[in-house]
């Protein structure tokens, strides 16, 4: 194995200042006022994981309530609050910060530069996201109000108007929901600006767009989608605020306002959001599978094309969430066809990942295990997605537990698995220590088993017409067994997450030293020390192919024999 | 295994063809603003002719010729200011910027007069009917400030041909309103949620709807920042 290709000099000054300043002062200096992309990236991920625990507990509470028919673990009001907070937190304060963290940490390292294009904007984005989350949760502290309508929002993460109008949602809880999400959306928007500006403007010498890593390409697509798809939500929320506080009539159906308009605006954001969340998962898989299959990615150009086309097509499929609204059948047909069209580039990707593994010398370390599980689970999620895209089928199963099972398959079976893959893959780079393989495998198998026990049965409960968002159900509908086992699945997942937390804490202290390049990878970030210094690269690297470290390690077999520049 | 002598010749390292980050940042900002305001405009178009009561656009709106002249010429003067910036003539920059500010102030005055009439004489507020609701939303947020006013003119006359709600009192009532002009304003207050989010740093010096001039001004600021950054990098390298 080659030594570190980019020699690192010790930067004097910074450490000395830290020594002089004392612990708290340096902590504040290093973590609160930081504009370093690596610190911000880690802070994003830590925040996301904390919110993940909270929202995961809320999910567990939902499952406990639904474990038996006529259960009284949660009151109907509390149940509504819990499922609203679970969905909102998972999407806006777990998924979004996590992908922002991954982007922040990896993109500058992968394109060979020292920081994001707008470091202070970057810090602003982080703090807005964090305070958005805190604002949402501070709703619990709000006064309950005369009608007991305060505390946490209970309108669902979709907040369908006119049920969110003042007449139906008095009190301040809905305002907490609106304002916290506007705040974090602004944070996400500035992060997206930063991602695009960094990837397009700060690449190392020689790294043309054709040689840019696929992860960075995919994050560019995500950033574009954020820029285009988040504003509709913000706009709709501004309208809702005007309705609630100034007596405007956007969604007030008594004064010619329109309830369907909210659903259009919300899902115009909501569906691209699904891709905003899952494409970073694709990005992680695309970087990890080649390294562990010891082969370059199959069909690089096709991968880029597929990502970009997903980015565009996904902007035109939103109304497949609205089959039950009663749109004209021409609209339903259009959105059904458009939705199926998204399956084509996604299929290309799955084909390419499998083709990359095909004939490779696969090493099933923990990151690769997550990626392999992702391939199976995401395929199933995609297939149930195609089923729901068929308008008559979607019309039958819309608002049933089949939908719940489908999107948890994409978000846990797809996104969460890939993010764990990314964490296991990049933990050595970020901390200098390896995560334990043994505990990692326990974590992996328990989570996968728990996940399948939880959500496989919910497909069937959905097919048996169990509606979503109900706080309880009568006995004798045939749903009891599925719900019972589903809740036990959550317990297994909980154990898996505990093992993960233990693994992280333990490895931080006692983990095996990672070295610079524990996976024998070939992208630029592995050419830096672990953890990378504040300036990333002592000398900015120069790049000759899409696998910059490969030709330094294997000068006898460089990529440019096969690659067109 | 091949020897070093027989290695294929590595490709020449050419430049990565990087773009200017000030420009990319601002284009992203414009993209996201266009997305935001197109939703507002969609709401406006969607509700045309659907008001069930209260004043209709044709009853209360007139064509604000003078305000439109102020508005459009302020685009021109801002552009001239940006161009003089490149020539380095400080006095000329100040002159054109001053004229831009004057035109903007006059435009705001016109708006104040117009709104005073709308609110106190015609009794049209945001809570009156869906016309009031959408009118004030689109007007206060300056419709889509990043799109050039010319585009605005192309968008809004089309509204006349849109189908009208059946509950409207007369055919094409809302659609007849000459509201195509005059609501696009140079925005000095920066009250927009997306811009308020701190993109001010990229877009400093940008007069809201004069995107071309804005890009140029920010490019100047950007090149200055690039110099600082290079200096910092040099320091880091030692």
Q: For B4, which residue in chain A has the nearest alpha carbon?
A: A556
Bond from prior residue into A162 cis (ω within 30 degrees of 0): yes
The CA distance from A260 to A253, in Å, is: 10
Candidates A180, A200, A543, A565, partner chain B, best to mutate (most B CBs within 10 A): A200
The CA distance from B8 to A153, in Å, is: 64
In this structure, are residues A133 and A89 in contact, taking their beta carbons and an 8 Å threshold?
A: yes
Chain A nearest CA to B218, separation (Å): 14
In this structure, are residues A307 and A282 in contact, taking their beta carbons and an 8 Å threshold?
A: yes
Chain B nearest CA to A191, separation (Å): 11
State whether residue A169 is helix, strand or coil: coil
The CA distance from A259 to A162, in Å, is: 6
Q: Is B51 exposed, middle or buried (0-12, 13-18, 19+ CB in 10 A)?
A: buried
In this structure, are residues B158 and B64 in contact, taking their beta carbons and an 8 Å threshold?
A: no
Q: Please give the structure tokens belonging to residue B232.
A: 């910092």
What is the model's pLDDT at position B34? 93
CB crowding A13-32: b at 16 or more within 10 Å, else e: eeeeeeeeeeeeebeeeeee
Q: For A254, which residue in chain B has the nearest alpha carbon?
A: B52
Specify the pTM.
Answer: 0.83
The CA distance from A121 to A358, in Å, is: 43
Q: For A262, which residue in chain B has the nearest alpha carbon?
A: B43
The CA distance from B134 to B49, in Å, is: 11
State how far Cα A222 lies from the chain centre.
Answer: 11
**Which residues in chain B are contacts of A12 at CB distance < 8 A?**
none
DSSP A272-314: HHHHHHHHHHHHHHHHHHHHHHTSPPS-HHHHHHHHHHHHHHG
**Least CB-CB distance to A535: which of B20, B196, B236?**
B236
Q: For B38, which residue in chain A has the nearest alpha carbon?
A: A232
Given an 8 Å threshold on Cβ–Cβ distance, is A261 in contact with B43? Answer: yes
Q: Where are the alpha helices (DSSP H) in A390-479?
A: 391-397, 401-408, 417-431, 437-463
The CA distance from A381 to A391, in Å, is: 17
Residue located via tokens 């399948």: A452
Q: What are phi and psi of A418, to 5 degrees?
A: -70, -35
Q: Confirm or reject contact between A229 and chain B (CB < 8 A).
A: yes
**Least CB-CB distance to B18: which of A193, A201, A560?**
A201
**Least CB-CB distance to A196: which of B15, B24, B37?**
B24
Q: Confirm or reject contact between B228 and chain A (CB < 8 A).
A: no
Q: Please give the structure tokens belonging to residue B26.
A: 């601002």
**Least CB-CB distance to B133: which of A204, A235, A250?**
A250
* pLDDT digits (tens), chain A, 565 positions: 344 444 444 444 455 555 566 778 878 888 888 999 999 999 999 999 999 999 999 999 999 999 999 999 999 989 999 999 999 999 999 999 999 999 999 999 999 999 999 999 999 999 999 999 999 999 888 766 665 656 889 899 999 988 999 888 888 889 999 999 999 999 999 999 999 999 999 999 888 898 899 999 999 999 999 999 999 999 999 999 999 999 999 999 888 899 999 999 999 999 999 999 999 999 999 999 999 999 999 999 999 999 999 999 999 999 999 998 889 999 999 999 999 999 999 999 999 999 999 999 999 999 999 999 999 999 999 999 999 999 999 989 988 999 999 999 999 999 999 999 999 999 999 999 999 999 999 999 999 999 999 999 999 999 999 999 999 999 999 999 999 999 999 999 999 999 999 999 999 999 999 989 999 999 999 999 989 998 999 888 888 888 888 888 888 888 877 765 4
Q: Please give the structure tokens belonging to residue A457.
A: 């049965």
Q: What is the largest CA-CA distance in chain A?
A: 77
CB crowding A54-82: b at 16 or more within 10 Å, else e: bbbebbbbbbebbbbeeeebbeeebbbbb
Given an 8 Å threshold on Cβ–Cβ distance, is A544 in contact with B20? Answer: no
Q: Please give the structure tokens belonging to residue A544.
A: 């000759």
Angle between helices A96-111 and A259-293 (to 10 degrees): 40
Q: What is the largest CA-CA distance in chain B?
A: 90
Query: Which of A:208-227 have CB within 8 Å of B?
Result: 208-209, 223-224, 227
The predicted complex's ipTM stands at 0.89
Chain B nearest CA to A153, separation (Å): 22
What is the model's pLDDT at position B57? 85
Residue located via tokens 């580039």: A345
């Amino acid at each position: 194995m080659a030594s570190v290709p980019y020699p690192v000099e010790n930067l004097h000054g910074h450490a000395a200042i830290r020594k002089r300043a004392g612990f708290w002062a340096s902590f504040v200096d290093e973590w609160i006022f930081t504009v370093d992309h690596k610190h911000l990236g880690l802070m994003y991920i830590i925040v996301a994981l904390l919110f993940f625990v909270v929202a995961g507990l809320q999910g567990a509470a939902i499952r406990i309530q639904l474990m038996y028919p006529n259960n009284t673990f949660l009151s109907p009001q509390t149940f509504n609050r819990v499922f609203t907070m679970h969905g909102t937190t998972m999407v806006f304060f777990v998924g979004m910060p996590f992908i922002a963290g991954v982007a922040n940490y990896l993109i500058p390292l992968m394109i060979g530069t020292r920081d994001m294009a707008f470091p202070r904007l970057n810090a602003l984005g982080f703090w807005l996201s964090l305070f958005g989350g805190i604002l949402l949760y501070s709703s619990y502290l709000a006064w309950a109000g005369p009608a007991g309508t305060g505390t946490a929002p209970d309108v669902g993460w979709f907040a369908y108007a006119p049920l969110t109008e003042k007449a139906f949602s008095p009190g301040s809880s809905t305002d907490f929901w609106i304002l916290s999400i506007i705040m974090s959306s602004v944070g996400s928007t500035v992060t997206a600006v930063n991602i695009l500006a960094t990837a397009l403007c700060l690449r190392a010498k020689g790294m043309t767009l054709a040689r840019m890593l696929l992860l960075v390409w995919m994050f560019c697509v995500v950033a574009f989608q954020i820029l285009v798809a988040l504003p509709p939500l913000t706009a709709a929320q501004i309208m809702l605020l005007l309705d609630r506080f100034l007596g405007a009539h956007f969604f007030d159906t008594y004064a010619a306002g329109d309830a369907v308009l909210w659903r259009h605006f919300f899902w115009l954001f909501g569906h691209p959001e699904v891709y905003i969340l899952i494409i970073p998962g694709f990005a992680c898989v695309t970087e990890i599978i080649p390294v562990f299959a010891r082969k370059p990615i199959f069909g690089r150009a096709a991968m880029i094309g597929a990502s970009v086309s997903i980015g565009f097509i996904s902007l035109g499929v939103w109304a497949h969430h609205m089959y039950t609204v009663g749109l004209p059948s021409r609209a339903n047909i259009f959105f059904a066809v458009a939705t199926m069209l998204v399956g084509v580039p996604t299929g290309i990707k799955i084909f390419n990942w499998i083709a990359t593994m095909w004939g490779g010398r696969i090493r099933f370390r923990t990151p690769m295990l997550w990626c392999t599980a992702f391939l199976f689970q995401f395929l199933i999620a995609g297939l149930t997605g195609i089923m729901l895209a068929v308008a008559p089928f979607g019309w039958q199963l819309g608002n049933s537990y089949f939908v719940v099972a489908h999107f948890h398959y994409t978000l846990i079976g797809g996104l969460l698995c890939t993010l764990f893959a990314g964490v296991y893959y990049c933990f050595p780079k970020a901390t200098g220590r390896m995560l334990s393989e043994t505990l990692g495998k326990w974590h992996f198998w328990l989570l996968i088993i728990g996940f399948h026990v939880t959500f496989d049965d919910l497909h069937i409960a959905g097919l048996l017409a169990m509606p979503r968002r109900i706080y309880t159900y009568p006995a004798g509908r045939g749903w009891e067994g599925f719900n019972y086992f589903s809740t036990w699945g959550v317990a297994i997942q909980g154990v898996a997450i505990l093992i993960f937390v233990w693994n992280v804490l333990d490895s931080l202290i006692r983990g095996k030293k990672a070295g610079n390049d524990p996976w024998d990878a070939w992208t630029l970030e592995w050419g830096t020390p672990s953890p990378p210094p504040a300036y990333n690269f002592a000398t900015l690297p120069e790049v000759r192919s899409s696998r910059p470290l490969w030709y330094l390690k294997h000068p006898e077999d460089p990529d440019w024999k096969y690659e067109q520049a | 295994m091949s020897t070093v002598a027989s290695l294929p010749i590595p490709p020449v390292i050419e430049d990565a063809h990087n773009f200017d980050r000030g420009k990319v940042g601002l284009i992203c900002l414009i993209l996201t603003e266009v997305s935001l305001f197109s939703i507002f405009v969609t709401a406006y178009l969607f509700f045309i002719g659907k008001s069930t009561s209260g004043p209709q656009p044709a009853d209360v709106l007139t064509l604000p010729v003078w305000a439109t002249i102020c508005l459009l010429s302020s685009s021109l003067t801002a552009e001239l200011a940006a161009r003089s910036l490149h020539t380095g003539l400080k006095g000329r920059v100040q002159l054109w910027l001053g004229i831009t500010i004057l035109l903007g102030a006059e435009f705001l005055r016109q708006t104040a007069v117009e709104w005073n009439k709308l609110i106190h004489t015609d009794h049209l507020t945001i809570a009156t009917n869906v016309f009031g609701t959408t009118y004030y939303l689109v007007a206060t947020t300056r419709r889509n400030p990043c799109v050039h006013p010319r585009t605005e003119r192309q968008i809004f006359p089309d509204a006349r041909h849109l189908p009208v709600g059946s509950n409207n009192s007369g055919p094409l009532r809302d659609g007849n309103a000459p509201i195509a002009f005059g609501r696009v304003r140079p925005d000095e207050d920066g009250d927009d949620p997306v811009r308020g989010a701190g993109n001010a740093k990229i877009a400093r010096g940008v007069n809201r709807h004069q995107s071309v001039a804005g890009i140029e001004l920010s490019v100047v600021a950007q090149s200055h920042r690039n110099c600082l950054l290079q200096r910092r990098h040099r320091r880091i390298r030692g």
